[in-house]
Amino acid sequence: MSFAVSSRIVIFLFLTFVSQASYGATVLVLGDSLSAGYGLPTGSGWVSLLKTRLDAAGSDATVVNASISGETTAGGRRRIEALLDRHHPRVVIIELGANDGLRGMHIPVIRENLSAIVEACEKSGAKTLLVGMRIPPNYGRDYTEKFHALFGQISAQYKTALVPFMLAGFAEDRSLFQEDGVHPTSKAQPLILGNIYPQLKPLL
């Protein structure tokens, strides 16, 4: 086989690999009601908007929304292995912890569950994007600060991508939340995607 022919084969295989790496990836979203679209018209949640943005960018990536309203880190930990086996995602967006915080779960327990989810994703070969959250100050300064800090600590430990705060930029704007004061409205969903997409894009 001549050098020229072998070089063309190498280039072809390289381009094929790049193409497969850039397109056809599966993005798995493991979240709670903030990602499940609670109280929103169908198709208006940030996960649906993510698929629209990826399509507009020319990607044929598949977005699987495995989010469940009321989900906790313990629930996500129980489900992650089966989800990884079923969908073989390239990227897992982990948006869990808010319900744990609102229930006053012990920080070490939340940390252990999130760490186990990240480790399972790493073992499967998937990249992870950890989405941070804050809880109301009435839970006490010590608890709320430790709760928010754990997302950055886990990200640093496992070298994952991180969105420091899912609701950054509008958390104080009550007009962008539903009547319960917890779940963002459809108008806020593009803002959530705006916080998440810049950290997700390099992973694809």
- The residue extents of the domains of the chain are 26-203
Please give the chain's pLDDT, 204 residues, in tens.
554 444 454 444 444 443 344 457 999 999 999 999 999 999 999 999 999 999 999 998 999 999 999 999 999 999 999 999 999 999 999 999 999 999 999 999 999 999 999 999 999 999 999 999 999 999 999 999 999 999 999 999 999 999 999 999 999 999 999 999 999 999 999 999 999 999 999 999
Annotated active-site positions, please? 33, 180, 183
What pLDDT, on the 0 to 100 scale, is given for residue 1?
Answer: 52
How many residues comprise the chain? Answer: 204
Separation between Cα atoms, residue 59 and residue 152, nearest integer Å = 29
* pLDDT at res. 189: 98
Q: pLDDT value at position 24? A: 72
Q: Right CATH number for 26-203 from 3.60.70.12, 1.10.8.60, 3.40.50.1110, 3.30.420.40? A: 3.40.50.1110
Residues 6+ apart with CB under 8 A from 175: none
pLDDT recorded at residue 4: 47
pTM reported for the whole predicted model: 0.88
Cβ neighbourhood burial of 28 (10 Å; 0-12, 13-18, 19+):
buried
Which residues are bridge partners to 92 per DSSP?
28, 128
